[in-house]
Amino acid sequence: MSANHERSVVSEWRGGLSCEVQAGRFTLVVDEPESVGGTDRGPQPTELFLSSIASCFTLALAFSARRRSIAVDAINVTATGFYDGPRFRAVRIDARVACDPAALDGLIRQAERVCYFTNTLKSDLDIVIAPQLITA
């Protein structure tokens, strides 16, 4: 894997089913609901996954609108995941944009081209797990 363009976050377990993720200068609390043994202090990993998709596509729409000089009054994106066992089998992105109706289709296509999440999820993503033992 090339180190030319990379970004990392660090997750630290905080007991039970909770962790804190350091993302740049921001700390995110990630937890599970009490019904499955968590403390419900933050979103679940699956909610963060869908949040990342929705927020990335929202910003891709805003970026694309600015780049194309399309006036936009509002953007609202909902990402819905459909489960199949321990994975999502599909994700639907509902993108609502207040703009010139004639510009909407082109704006959506441009956002699809620049959205990191949709491009990554549509590709053959290599995931490498590198185990390391923590010693005292």
Reading the chain (136 residues) residue by residue, the pLDDT tens digits are: 555 789 999 999 999 999 999 999 999 999 999 999 999 999 999 999 999 999 999 999 999 999 999 999 999 999 999 999 999 999 999 999 999 999 999 999 999 999 999 999 999 999 999 999 999 8
DSSP SS3 for 43: coil
Contacts of 28 (CB under 8 A, 6+ apart): 20, 21, 42, 48
